């Protein structure tokens, strides 16, 4: 039984926009990345899980509790980070953390303090003067500080610099090891690398694909950029049976896609030519992600 369960929910806004017959489940200890372009329906789905919206059809549940009719009980089990955080700006960061900890009847601030240290946050100043990234850190601390079983994080890395994004990824991996079930929404593939077990791609309100990240990462197809010393060498290789994705004659550069099993063939061809550089240019995950955006995958 999934910890987070979305069963065929539909919510139409003015006829054509919204989410349509959306289904997926998230297991205990699983990190599920929910990705899709602007307006795809990620936040609408999340609002249903939070019990802020009632589906026109279908049902959502968390820990076997109905997200609409039992929303108060559901929210006690949740850590939630909204995409757009509306904080009471007159408070200091620490006052807000204490206030929310009191509301949750938290016995101590041990986890909050650990997270403050981890994210190098100074929560003493008024929220109104804080940068977007600093507010995001406070949002993260408020979502995690009560050690919830289930975490729902809408664009959690937005506003974080690369070092803080990496600190956030470490946190997610630790929470996963402790058995937390996590739903995170994203726009960009870079943000999901190394954290998500599965990725659900939503487009125009419909789930177009759900895949195991490991499966994509282990795909045998790879893309390489090869720079030749002479144009004639580039031209002589394009007739070989490799998938040529791009040719740049000015830079004498070729981009090819090849299955791992044919790597020896490629290396043999290259060994007879003068090569300036040879490198893998795209992870298969990025390629998958872009293909989804372009609409080439329809697995669900
Ligand atoms: N309350 C509402 N009334 C009317 N339309 C809405 C409402 N909420 C969302 N929509 C529309 O539903 C669609 C899905 O919006 P949603 O905010 O869920 O997308 P999203 O994937 O979270 O987008 P983003 O990545 O830009 O945050 C959009 O076309 C949006 O304009």
- 25 Cα–ligand 1 center, Å: 21
35 and 54 together in one domain: yes
User: Residue with the nearest Cα to atom 12 of ligand 1?
Assistant: 18
Query: Is 200 touching ligand 1 by the criterion CB < 6 Å?
Result: no
Residue 165 in domain? no
200 and 265 together in one domain: no
Whichever domain contains 259, its CATH number is 3.30.70.80
214 and 194 together in one domain: yes
Q: What is the pTM of this model?
A: 0.81
Q: What CA–CA distances, in Å, run from 2 to 28, 54, 74?
A: 7, 20, 15
Residue 113 in domain? no
Residue 57 in domain? yes
Residue 97 in domain? no
Residue 149 in domain? no
In DSSP terms, which residues pair with 209 in a beta bridge? 201
- What would you report as the CA-atom Rg of the chain, rounded to the nearest whole angstrom? 23
Residue 188 in domain? yes
Cβ neighbours of residue 207 under 8 Å, at least 6 residues apart? 22, 23, 24, 200, 201, 300
Contact 83, 154 (CB under 8 A): yes
User: Residue with the nearest Cα to atom 26 of ligand 1?
Assistant: 38
Whichever domain contains 207, its CATH number is 3.40.50.300
244 and 203 together in one domain: no
In the chain, the number of structural domains is: 2
205 and 275 together in one domain: no
Give the closest residue to 124 by CA, choosing from 160, 159, 91: 91
Pair of tokens at residue 49: 């899980």
Say what the ipTM of the complex is: 0.96
234 and 196 together in one domain: no
**What pLDDT, in 10s, does the model give residues 79-107?**
999 988 888 878 999 999 999 999 999 98
Boundary-marking domain end, from 167, 200, 218:
218
211 and 268 together in one domain: no
Boundary-marking domain end, from 218, 248, 274:
218
**What pLDDT, in 10s, does the model give residues 144-193?**
999 999 999 999 999 999 899 999 999 999 999 999 999 999 877 666 66
59 and 13 together in one domain: yes
Range 211-242 burial, b when 16+ CB lie within 10 A, else e: bebeebeeeeebbbbbebeeeebbeebeeeeb
In DSSP terms, which residues pair with 145 in a beta bridge? none
- 133 Cα–ligand 1 center, Å: 23
38 and 55 together in one domain: yes
200 and 224 together in one domain: no
Walk along the chain (300 residues) in steps of 10 and give the mean pLDDT of each run: 94 89 96 90 95 96 96 93 86 94 93 96 92 95 96 94 92 96 85 82 90 77 88 85 84 87 86 90 67 57
Residue 154 in domain? no
- 204 Cα–ligand 1 center, Å: 10
Which residues form the domain of 35?
Answer: 1-77+178-218
Residue 82 in domain? no
């Amino acid at each position: 039984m999934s910890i987070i369960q979305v069963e065929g929910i539909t919510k139409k806004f003015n006829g054509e926009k919204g989410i349509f017959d959306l289904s997926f489940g998230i297991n205990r200890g699983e990190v599920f990345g929910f990705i899709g372009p602007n307006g795809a329906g990620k936040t609408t789905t999340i609002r249903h899980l939070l019990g802020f919206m009632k589906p026109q059809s279908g049902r959502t549940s968390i820990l076997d509790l109905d997200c609409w009719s039992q929303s108060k009980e559901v929210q006690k089990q949740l850590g939630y980070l909204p995409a757009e955080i509306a904080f009471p700006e007159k408070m200091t960061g620490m006052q807000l953390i204490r206030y929310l900890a009191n509301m949750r009847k938290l016995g101590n601030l041990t986890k909050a303090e650990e997270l403050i240290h981890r994210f190098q946050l100074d929560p003493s100043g008024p929220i109104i003067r804080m940068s977007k990234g600093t507010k995001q850190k406070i949002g993260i601390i408020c979502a995690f500080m009560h050690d919830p079983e289930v975490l729902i994080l809408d664009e959690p890395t937005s506003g974080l610099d690369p070092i803080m994004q990496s600190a956030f990824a470490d946190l997610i991996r630790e929470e996963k090891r402790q058995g937390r079930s996590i739903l995170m929404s994203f726009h960009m593939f870079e943000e999901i690398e190394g954290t998500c077990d599965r990725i659900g791609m939503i487009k125009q309100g419909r789930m177009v694909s759900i895949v195991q990240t490991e499966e994509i990462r282990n795909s045998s197809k790879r893309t390489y950029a090869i720079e030749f010393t002479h144009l004639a060498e580039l031209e002589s290789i394009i007739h070989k049976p490799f998938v040529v994705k791009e040719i740049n004659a000015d830079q004498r550069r070729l981009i090819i896609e090849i299955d791992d099993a044919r790597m020896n063939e490629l290396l043999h061809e290259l060994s007879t030519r003068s090569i300036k550089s040879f490198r893998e240019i795209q992870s298969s995950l990025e390629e998958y992600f872009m293909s989804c955006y372009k609409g080439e995958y329809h697995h669900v």
